[in-house]
Amino acid sequence: MIALQELTMRKFFELNFQTGLLIGCAIAAAIAAAAIAYERYDTKTLKRTIRRDAVFCGVNTGLPGFSSADDKGDAKERFVELGKRKVDVLARNSTWTISREAEYALHFAAVSYYDGQGFMVPKLRKAMSALELDGSKVCVQSNTTTELNLGDYFRANNMTHEERKFGTVDDVFNGYASGQCDVLTGDVSQLYALRLKLSKPGDHDILPDVISKEPLAPVVRHKDDDWLMIVKWTLFAMVNAEELGITSKNIDQALKSKKPDVMRFVGTDGDYGEELDLTKDWAVRVIRHVGNYGEVYERNVGAGSKLGIPRGLNQLWNAGGILYAPPIR
């Protein structure tokens, strides 16, 4: 548990952005400025977080920048723990699906990272496409959608393969590293992280093919609408800040701007923060402490990190990607 006082805030974000996924617990910056109006929420998450002076953020340190299944190979526990109120928000590699929302009574707030399943192979294979993997031995985590997608892809392309199934991500990785298979499949973000663990990462290629949609998003409980709004709009604020050119380095200059969109963002025009039961400068706090979406991406999983994952679909909509947030107005 990390307290929300201003002096410990930066350490809080560094911890969570290194071990969680992108948005991490940036919401802590927003609720640290919560207005008195939160009093009307008797049993909801917002009031509890303010009373305890901390946000409990569900993450996993299994992979740099992202997370992995637990030691039993069953990542479902993350949703159960959230339902039991042991954490306030999940900020890890959780794919948004209809079954997860319905079965566990959860809300995926907004997409924080557009991911998809891919393949990693030894460079010596000189493979340029997944369509060249006919007859391969593929390491895959058992009882996952990854396993199902793998079978569908090879059948759809009239290719054969031999599955080497393992119960945990670590076992899948060890199977590939020890040569039990010549292909490793998983989410592309996960493959970048696993490649770093190999003795010679440069000897392995991540193929360009993406065979599934894996939108990752922070997760909250049903019937917790006030909290959902804060989590969702914290992410939206980070995306909007990048589009507006607002960064952690120029946020003080942005406070002096006369541009209407910027004024609404920083709270010098309108009462948008109060509508979330926060103070006017809620978005300013988020950007000051963690940066906009682009800054967070580059620092933790992009060019400024060891992972070096290209932005791809996670570029802004006006820069060739599909990342898009509703406006603050």
pLDDT tens, 151-190? 999 999 999 999 999 998 899 999 999 999 999 999 999 9
Q: How many domains does the chain have?
A: 2
Query: Can you give the pLDDT at residue 37?
Result: 47
Is pLDDT above 50 for 40? Answer: no
Average pLDDT over residues 69-80: 54
pLDDT of residue 29: 61
- Residue 173, CA atoms < 13 Å, CB-side half-sphere: 20
Q: Are residues 97 and 220 in the same domain?
A: yes
How far is 99 from 195, CA to CA, in rounded Å? 30
Residue 162 φ/ψ, nearest 5 degrees = -115, 125
Domain-ending residue, one of 182, 212, 242: 212
Alpha-carbon distance of 124 to 156, in angstroms, equals 26
Pairwise pLDDT comparison (200 vs 306), residue with the higher score: 200
How many whole angstroms separate alpha carbon 93 and alpha carbon 215? 9
Examine the fold and report which residue of 168, 183, 212 is the final residue of a domain before the chain moves on.
212
Same domain, 38 and 99: yes
Q: Is residue 327 part of a domain?
A: no
Range of the domain at 184: 117-212
Q: What's the rounded Cα separation, in Å, for the pair 226 and 232?
A: 10
Structural domain includes residue 248: yes
Judgement on whether residues 289 and 235 belong to the same structural domain of the protein: yes
Q: Do residue 228 and residue 99 come from a single domain?
A: yes
Query: Of 127 and 107, which is predicted with more confidence?
Result: 127
Mean pLDDT of 238-253: 97
| 150-154, Cβ contacts within 8 angstroms, sequence gap of 24 or more | 150/117, 150/185, 153/211
Q: For the whole model, what pTM was predicted? A: 0.79
Same domain, 12 and 107: yes
Same domain, 139 and 60: no
Q: Could you tell me the two tokens for 2? A: 């990390």
